[in-house]
Structure 1
């Protein structure tokens, strides 16, 4: 069994707990939070509780993996602590809010010989997996462009839940918090971005960061991309979608969350087969939870001594793109990504 500990008992920690408890080969061993009241939410007597991360790790050498679920601005310093204690790391998205912090996190893991995985669970949605298969087969021919859209609602009450929400130092805006999943998918499917031109604004929410953004990107392969992201949609989440357009295929994954196949037009695939695939996805649009995929993959990565499926470098790519979008929005100029 691989023993997991969680640091940070905020909302997202519940998904990690559920994933660990359901994952084959994983054991929920310990939890850490600086607020002792949050620790009382853990009722399992076999789970050890701590308010100090270093103490937890020093007292329990049998902990193999630490899941970092604290506010995003704290990911880098906690990754350093965990890596120096020679434990493997799963860190929530975004891996950090700064480019140098993301690069440092990768370096901490490499220097200490530990594995670093970043939580981008949407890669494991059944519809997205089918889309990835078509991309890998070359079904699109020459790629034309891609479109990533996040039209969601995060009202003021959402941001008022905690002081760190909506701040530049600890949280980030709609791009870092919501659209990063879709940007990760776009990069995973389309490849790296060469340049970006963007606009962003804070229109409706009383926060430091953007609540709406739009960008046009050019990929290194010459294809274009359009990004639209907002938490200003009234009165609830409207749409999350990812569309890829190519010489011989058009595929769009959409829905209130991007779990359903809206369009599947691929050269050589009959309408009957496309409809069959749509119904297959509709019957089980969520599949195994993405967090469980990440946990089980880390169990395998440790056991087999290999890299996780979603590496630190994978986590760095959307952070780099988002920072370029924000720079372009601030300067009004096209930004070339090194």
Structure 2
């Protein structure tokens, strides 16, 4: 039985608890949060849903949880700016890691996590759970078989609403240093799907805008991607949609077909055509109704830990979408396309640029 510890007992941690509760090979051993009430709430939720569950350890200092010798897996669900620091500390203690997106807020931190994971021979799962949704797993296999032919273009859009109350609910929200940027938080899952399905990237060009001056980060982001295979990509994400979130869309255009998924819950197959493959189209339409990606992600992680099999989103894969977004941000600053891979970048650069611009505008 593998023993896990959760660091951060906020809203997102409940999704991880729901998956752990369904697994026979892993159990929650300890929780950590700066708020004692949230630790107690998390412990109670878990114990109410597990038959014969023993009492959980509660650590006010997360480092005590990391040093607990009984724990095999560290689950990180804290604010973005702490992801890399805690992941590296956990790896140094030879723990496997499950970390919420984003993996890090700098290229350097992401690279250090990748290096440590290999050095310590421990798994790092980055929670890009949409890759595990059955329709995307099936699409990936079809692409690898060449069923859809050459990729021509892919576009992603997210039309989201984030109110002022949302940003005021926590001091770290809306800051480059601790939150990391709107595209990193609200758009990264779509960007991850785009690069996973279409391939490696040559250059990125992007522009961002900030309309709400009461926060640091952008609320509009647009980008153009040139893939190594000559396909083109487009990114369009905003958090200023009125009066409420309208939904998400991924459109994929290939030599032999077109796939478009959208809807408020990103679960509607709006268009599906593949030349001469009516049966596959029917299967895709049926598969589009299936979800449970978070549980499937955990199953993949545990299988990878037990048998050293492929982890769909390891640290290297978790870096890919992050690097695209970093490239888009740097392009916005330099007003030029940016070639990947990036050797360096940190969201702190965006804070510095924003402060400089504000001084010029005064």
**TM-score, length-scaled by structure 1:** 0.93
**After the TM superposition, which of the residue ranges 210-219 and 29-38 deviates more from structure 2?**
29-38
1:63, 1:87 within 8 Å by CA — same for their partners in 2? Answer: yes
Query: Which deviations, in whole Å up to 9, do the C-alpha atoms of 1:35-69 show, x marking residues without a partner?
Result: 223212122362211112232233x3221100011
| SS, match of residue 146 in structure 1 | strand
Spell out the pairing of 1:80-159 with structure 2 (5 A cutoff): 80-159=88-167
Query: Which deviations, in whole Å up to 9, do the C-alpha atoms of 1:190-235 show, x marking residues without a partner?
Result: 1111101111011236321111111111001111101101111111
In structure 1, list runs of 5 or more residues that go unmatched: none
| SS, match of residue 40 in structure 1 | helix
In the alignment, which residue of structure 1 is the partner of 2:281?
A: 274
Structure 1: distance between partners of 2:284 and 2:133: 14
Q: Which runs of 4+ in 1 moved over 4 A?
A: none
1:79, 1:108 within 8 Å by CA — same for their partners in 2? Answer: no
In the alignment, which residue of structure 1 is the partner of 2:188?
A: 180
Structure 2: distance between partners of 1:2 and 1:138: 39
Shift of 1:137: 2.2
Query: Which deviations, in whole Å up to 9, do the C-alpha atoms of 1:70-115 show, x marking residues without a partner?
Result: 1111111111211111110011101011111111111222222211
Instruction: Report the CA distance shift for 1:205/1:158 in structure 2 as closer, same or farther (over 3 A).
Output: farther
Match of 1:298 among 298, 301, 320: 301
Asked if residue 309 in structure 1 is aligned to residue 312 in structure 2, the reply is yes
Structure 1: distance between partners of 2:283 and 2:33: 47
Query: Which deviations, in whole Å up to 9, do the C-alpha atoms of 1:125-173 show, x marking residues without a partner?
Result: 2332332232122122222111111111121111221111111111122
* Higher relative contact order, structure no. (Cα contacts within 8 Å, ≥ 6 residues apart): 1
Match of 1:331 among 328, 334, 339: 334
In the alignment, which residue of structure 1 is the partner of 2:357?
A: none
Equivalences, count: 332
Q: CA RMSD for the aligned pairs? A: 1.8
Structure 2: distance between partners of 1:79 and 1:258: 30
In structure 2, list runs of 5 or more residues that go unmatched: 48-53, 342-362
In the alignment, which residue of structure 2 is the partner of 1:17?
A: 17
In the alignment, which residue of structure 2 is the partner of 1:8?
A: 8
Asked if residue 208 in structure 1 is aligned to residue 216 in structure 2, the reply is yes
Shift of 1:302: 1.8
In the alignment, which residue of structure 1 is the partner of 2:346?
A: none
Structure 1: distance between partners of 2:233 and 2:280: 28
**After the TM superposition, which of the residue ranges 249-258 and 106-115 deviates more from structure 2?**
106-115
Spell out the pairing of 1:206-285 with structure 2 (5 A cutoff): 206-270=214-278, 274=281, 277-278=284-285, 280-281=286-287, 284-285=289-290
**TM-score, length-scaled by structure 2:** 0.87
2:66, 2:74 within 8 Å by CA — same for their partners in 1? Answer: no
Instruction: Report the CA distance shift for 1:130/1:112 in structure 2 as closer, same or farther (over 3 A).
Output: closer
In the alignment, which residue of structure 2 is the partner of 1:199?
A: 207
In the alignment, which residue of structure 1 is the partner of 2:56?
A: 47
